[in-house]
Amino acid sequence: MVPNEKNGPIRRFIIDHALRRARPGSGSSRAFLMDRTWNGPHTATLDRSRLSTPYVVVGAVATALYMPERATPGLDLLTTASDAPALRSELEALGCTYAGSLSIGGSTWRTPSGGTLDVIESDEPWVAEALAAPNRAPDGSPVVSLPYLVLMKLDASRAQDVADATRMLGLADEGARNEVRRVLVQYRPEYLQDVESMIVIGELELQ
């Protein structure tokens, strides 16, 4: 998994347009924006006690720790490329069925309940740090911390990823934002200017 900078111009277009056009408020109450729920239907399909390979929940499900939960059709996990074979074996033991490879590196699976599970495999140097220090969901699932989730969202830079990162940054406190800045200084300094603009846009939602 590597930065998808072919989408960089798209990200900057979205940010520049929002800076020009955004107005205070989001159409949602402040209470809604600050609420955090974890329905956990996707993570509940995995028996964590039988998964010993390090992984973290990423993608749309992970955003529920940092912004209002939104509907998503599947679950995304992140692991290191070196640990991926072990995780695949454990998923097979849980009754998951291999359904193909991911273009970004990894594999997609069907869970016994019929859900979709994507396992992203990466040898990027920050992944080991992300796996070592996850946040925990209410059900105990290891969830990628905000700095690495923002990094992943900006690497992808699809419209929804930019929107998610902007909302999460707007809702985060300054301490959390500084952690995002610290990680980006180390691994993606080219994203720092965009992140500062996204914070401004995200804060407008709360006004």
Instruction: Give the residue-averaged pLDDT of 160-185.
Output: 95
pLDDT band for 205, please (50, 70, 90 cuts): confident
Nearest to 68 by CA among 31, 18, 14, 117: 31
User: What is the model's pLDDT at position 25?
Assistant: 56
Would the pLDDT of 92 be above 60?
A: yes
Instruction: Give the residue-averaged pLDDT of 8-16.
Output: 71
CA dist., res. 64 & res. 13, Å (int): 26
Q: Which fold has domain 5-204?
A: Beta Polymerase; domain 2 (3.30.460)
pLDDT more than 90, % of the chain: 57
Q: Which of 46-55, 162-171, 183-192, 194-203 has the lowest mean pLDDT?
A: 46-55
pLDDT band for 170, please (50, 70, 90 cuts): very high
pTM equals 0.84
Between 109 and 27, residue with greater pLDDT: 109
For 103-156, the pLDDT digits (tens) are: 889 999 998 888 889 999 999 999 999 999 999 998 889 999 999 999 999 999
Domain spans in the chain, listed from the N-terminal domain onward: 5-204
Instruction: Give the residue-averaged pLDDT of 177-198.
Output: 96
